[in-house]
Chains A and B, each alone.
Chain A
Amino acid sequence: MSAHYSPLRVKLVEGNKSLGQITDEICRPMNRLPSKSWWLAFLVAFSALMMGIGAITYQVLVGIGTWGLNTSVGWAFDITNFVFWIGIGHAGTLISAILFLFRQKWRTSINRSAEAMTLFAVMCAGLFPLIHMGRPWLAFWVGPYPNTRGSLWPNPRSPLLWDVFAISTYFLVSAGFWYVGLIPDLATIRDKSTSKIKKFIFGVLSLGWNGSNRIWSRYETVYMLLAGLATPLVLSVHSIVSMDFATSVIPGWHTTIFPPYFVAGAVFSGFGMVLTLMIIARKVLNLHEYITTTHIERMCKIALLTGSMVGLAYGTEFFIAWYSGSIYERFTFLNRAFGPFAWAYWIMVSCNVITPQLFWFKKLRTNVKWVFIISIFINIGMWFERFVIIVTSLHRDYLPSNWTGYVPTKIEVMTLIGVFGLFFTLFLIFCRVLPMISIGEVKSVVSYANTRNKEH
């Protein structure tokens, strides 16, 4: 009956585990006190978060004038960060939804934490437009609701309103997908745990799940539907983010290549972040047998593919800037590469075009230390990509009398660090209170080797 067993197939989880063992090992971090390294990481992240809260409070009280923006560079650090964080989220959805539809079973060890990463990244992203509004308590004005001002509606032809819908849909659907995926595991913990408080909390959260196959059948259908919905959704989100730029008539922004280019870049940067997080998590939480070198190698391959797409997009942009014959386009791109922000441009090129090419070598792909270093470079490079696209296009526009520079203020840098703190604080708490790996799904991938006949 175990027809789908193949000796050629690489094992997804190492160390011939029984089902009970999987539950115990994945839940282990939840049942013991946090280690010293966890506390250290948490302390750093939490301090950064506190600094960020201070910076955000200050700029909300004083105003957006605390930023380094000027009349030419009206968008800079905040939108860079917004696009950066939204992009990070995309890898999580790619792992959880697209790899699910393609039946890539290796995703089971990493999808839970990648989806959590998506949610936290979208939260971080959402903060920036909220702060940029200046009066964040009026953020609900972006929603189309009947009001006493007319009703005055938001403009549905504006890409910024598309963004509102795209980001909120992305967050809600990702959160739903993640929670639905969690329910069976929450029930497992409810039934395994001996502490009364834990039993109660997980009992409430698991909604009375009992493992009935009649429910499983429905559940699997819904899970597949959500994956099917999340797949075009994730492509649409960064396409719409790119339209914030592409629908304007700014040289360097006004290009049709933007949607696919942004989506590839988003997935690339997201995989950079997933690799960073997973390499730390498997080390700190001792999950080497679940998140194996094979997993890391496969993620590196996706980073290589999307990184090459990004490199191709950079080349295409340059070619089209010349081929279009538009002097403004041509100037913008030459200015990017050789103007005052050339340093940022070349950081971007070396991190995003050259670094991922190292993944062609299996030796580097399977060497965790190297992968970690490269993943950091990807994170840096993709942050600079957004900075370059946004700032270099704005700081020298059609009229030379408009030309300015841009330097971020302390407040902007503190906000960026603070939001990193928020992201890592949330992720570290998640690692402690919820099963970081999908217990049920991992069981289903080890099962083909876990038949009675093979044991004897």
Chain B
Amino acid sequence: MSQTYVVAYFEHEDDILGATRKSRESGHTIVDVFTPYAVHGMDEAMGLRFSRMTWVCFIFGMLGALGAVFGQMYITMVDWPAVIGGKPLNSLPAYIPITFECAVLFGGLGSIVVLFARSKLFPFKKPDFLLPSVTNDKFALVLKADSATITAKDLQPFFADFGATHIEERLEDTLTVAEGAPGSGPVHQTETTHH
């Protein structure tokens, strides 16, 4: 079953923040917000939880560190024990630099890989639900049109306070839009002139 979404476009950071906050307070379902840069305070406005990526980084970093410590111990104590510089076979302090570097390497690259996997970003991917100009100079708020009362027309005065430049409805199967998202799919368009 396809779902109808209401998309409102804004031109300023303050407006999209205010509109998002108000939408959440009035109980609308916010599907997503699309912005050309990371808007400070948007996570709170949308009610997103704190990202768990910090744990991913920690776990990968620990894996790297433990792998490096045990790897070095295996090399110098088990597989090929050799006395070097009169030091004991298990010369832990000398392992610190490589352990640290491995922790950083695994933590860093692990976080990047998980970021891409979790956000479904990969080469040759067609962008989902790509709205016009949101990677350049427009901010878009996407709400779920759950009931008959949530239509672009009904929401017009609601968004007018925030200087919405354009409100449209889009009918999509999922949030994944297959073909040429910009401009395609608006069922009903309303132009609002705020200025």
Contacts and interface: CB of A to CB of B under 8 A. Distances in A.
B46 A188 contact: no
A191 B100 contact: no
A191 B38 contact: no
B17 interface: yes
A222 B111 contact: yes
B34 interface: yes
Nearest to B134: A211
Contacts of A280: none
B146 interface: no
Nearest to B93: A157
B136 A20 contact: yes
B121 interface: yes
Given A1-B14, A451-B14, A172 B137 contact: no
Contacts of A153: 75-76, 79-80
A9 interface: no
B54 interface: yes
B137 A225 contact: no
A444 B51 CA distance: 21
A165 B102 contact: yes
Contacts of A367: none
A443 B107 contact: no
Interface SS, A side: helix
Interface residues of B, number: 74
Contacts of A156: 72, 75-76, 94-95, 98
A57 interface: no
Interface in B26-58: 32-40, 42-43, 46, 48, 50-51, 53-54, 57
B128 A210 contact: yes
A213 B39 contact: yes
Given A215-B119, A218-B115, A161 B79 contact: no
Contacts of A183: 121
Contacts of A2: 14
A71 to B, nearest CB: 22
A211 B11 CA distance: 15
Nearest to A228: B57
A23 B133 CA distance: 11
With most chain B CB atoms within 10 A of its CB, the pick from A156, A183, A191, A229 is A156
Given A188-B135, A191-B130, A191-B133, A208 B122 contact: yes
Contact of B129 (A20, A177, A210): A210
B157 interface: no
A188 B57 CA distance: 28
A212 interface: yes
A447 interface: yes
B128 A213 contact: no
Nearest to B105: A169
Contact of A210 (B14, B34, B46, B105): B34
Given A191-B130, A210-B129, A213-B35, A236 B101 contact: yes
Interface in A252-308: none
Given A190-B135, A447-B12, 5 more contacts: A177-B108, A207-B125, A208-B128, A226-B112, A444-B39
Give 8 nearest A-B pairs by CB, closest first: A208-B125, A19-B137, A207-B121, A440-B37, A221-B51, A162-B97, A20-B137, A157-B94
6 contacts: A156-B76, A188-B36, A188-B136, A203-B124, A208-B121, A451-B14
